């Protein structure tokens, strides 16, 4: 029997047109991210107060959706009460500014740390629950905080809320929100590319198997839960300063949690840029619908979500990765 020899081509085989090197894709995407950041930095210089506020509240949801993504996307524990951390941060800043005369920026560390303390307090019992039981427990605890805020009039003002001194703060609150959004996304990127993130992914995929491999799942879930609480508290403090007035029903509003979940799911939960892209698309769509057809707002919102679930169940980033249009290493 004759032996067949393997023919080695004399020169490298070029990649097909649609299969460019991942490094090139990553470079292009990093350039796009850098360009977007530059545009956001320059935005207040060539637009009006309305558009500055529009982008600010979009940045608020970037922080909220990305923070929710740490515990729910990376770890797999879906929280329906994440707005509680936002509310604690909002009231921390409002009370310290209005009643104790603190500068607003000096309140932000405490606005982030108090939600972390609350997460540490409720995390140990709640994270022993799984699936819908965890989600419902978080929703119930958010309602507890709302009722406590309504009842504790001497501290929170009850149903009358807290009013801060009137001041023009559009630009400074905008840049504070931009900085927090950038830090939140950077933290998600660092988690996704670390051993810590790998262990969170193991918990998400199969918690029992992760425990069998020696991963202290309870400890890592607590870490993720506490990290996911810090930045919502900080952005809550900035939003309180931006609005100069807060009250319980709008601050602990469950729809805020629904929005952050929807935005993260739309972009692709468990990814870094998914919540950012989901927020940009959905928040813009909401604003346009409110502007042009306000009487169909909720109907259009629901139809949009159904279409996304039907045709892009893994979100926009999953859709793009599946087709090779986005390099996976940049977003996960």
Selected residue with higher pLDDT from 14 and 234: 234
CA-closest candidate to residue 298, choices 252, 258, 248, 249: 258
Place 324 in a pLDDT band, splitting at 50, 70 and 90.
low
pLDDT at 30 over 90: no
Predicted TM-score (pTM) of the model is 0.87
Place 131 in a pLDDT band, splitting at 50, 70 and 90.
confident
pLDDT at 326 over 80: no
pLDDT at 312: 73
Place 328 in a pLDDT band, splitting at 50, 70 and 90.
low
Place 269 in a pLDDT band, splitting at 50, 70 and 90.
confident
CA-closest candidate to residue 260, choices 119, 140, 80, 51: 80
CA-closest candidate to residue 225, choices 88, 96, 81, 90: 81
Residue 70: inside a domain, yes or no?
Answer: yes
Residue 202: inside a domain, yes or no?
Answer: yes
Place 315 in a pLDDT band, splitting at 50, 70 and 90.
confident
pLDDT at 6 over 50: no
Determine which of 80-94, 235-249, 253-267 has the lowest per-residue pLDDT on average. 253-267
pLDDT at 32: 80
Selected residue with higher pLDDT from 310 and 324: 310
Place 188 in a pLDDT band, splitting at 50, 70 and 90.
very high
Residue 279: inside a domain, yes or no?
Answer: no
CA distance 90 to 285: 26
Residue 107: inside a domain, yes or no?
Answer: yes
Residue 16: inside a domain, yes or no?
Answer: no
Q: Which residues, other chains included, contact 315 with Cβ-Cβ below 8 Å and sequence gap of 6+?
A: 265, 266, 267, 268, 269, 271, 274, 278, 308
DSSP assignments along 33-77, one per residue: HHHHHHHHHHGGGGS-HHHHHHHHHHHHHHHHHHHHHIIIIIS--
Residue 289: inside a domain, yes or no?
Answer: no
Determine which of 130-139, 210-219, 287-296 has the lowest per-residue pLDDT on average. 287-296
pLDDT at 246: 94
Mean of all residue pLDDT scores within the chain:
85
Residue 32: inside a domain, yes or no?
Answer: no
Q: How many domains does the chain have?
A: 1
Place 164 in a pLDDT band, splitting at 50, 70 and 90.
very high
CA-closest candidate to residue 126, choices 139, 115, 116: 139
Residue 305: inside a domain, yes or no?
Answer: no
Q: Which domain holds residue 203?
A: 47-254
Mean pLDDT of 124-153: 91
Place 25 in a pLDDT band, splitting at 50, 70 and 90.
low
């Amino acid at each position: 029997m004759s032996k067949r020899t393997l023919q080695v081509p004399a020169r490298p085989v070029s990649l097909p047109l649609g299969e460019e090197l991942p490094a090139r894709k990553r470079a292009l995407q990093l350039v796009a991210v850098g360009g977007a950041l530059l545009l956001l930095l320059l935005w207040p210089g060539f637009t009006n107060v309305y558009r500055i506020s529009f982008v600010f509240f979009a940045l608020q949801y970037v922080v909220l959706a990305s923070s929710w993504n740490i515990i729910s996307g990376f770890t797999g524990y879906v929280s329906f009460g994440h707005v509680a951390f936002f509310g604690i941060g909002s009231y921390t800043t409002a009370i310290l500014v209005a009643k104790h005369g603190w500068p607003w920026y000096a309140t932000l560390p405490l606005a982030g740390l108090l939600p972390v303390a609350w997460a540490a307090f409720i995390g140990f019992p709640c994270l022993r629950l799984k699936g819908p039981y965890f989600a419902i427990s978080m929703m119930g605890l958010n309602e507890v905080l709302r009722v406590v805020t309504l009842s504790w009039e001497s501290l929170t003002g009850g149903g009358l809320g807290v009013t801060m001194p009137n001041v023009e703060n559009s630009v400074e609150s905008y840049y504070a929100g931009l900085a927090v959004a950038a830090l939140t996304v950077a933290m998600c990127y660092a988690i996704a590319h670390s051993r810590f993130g790998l262990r969170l992914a193991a918990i998400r995929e199969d918690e029992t198997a992760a425990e069998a491999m020696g991963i202290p799942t309870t400890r890592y879930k607590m870490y993720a839960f506490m990290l996911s609480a810090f930045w919502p508290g900080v952005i809550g403090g900035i939003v309180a300063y931006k609005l100069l007035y807060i009250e319980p029903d709008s601050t602990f509003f469950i729809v805020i949690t629904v929005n952050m979940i929807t935005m993260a799911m739309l972009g692709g939960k468990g990814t870094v840029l998914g919540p950012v892209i989901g927020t940009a698309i959905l928040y813009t769509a909401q604003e346009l619908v409110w502007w042009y057809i306000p009487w169909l707002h909720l109907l259009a919102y629901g139809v949009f979500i159904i279409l996304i679930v039907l045709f892009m169940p893994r979100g926009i980033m999953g859709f793009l990765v599946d087709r090779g249009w986005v390099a996976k290493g940049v977003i996960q």
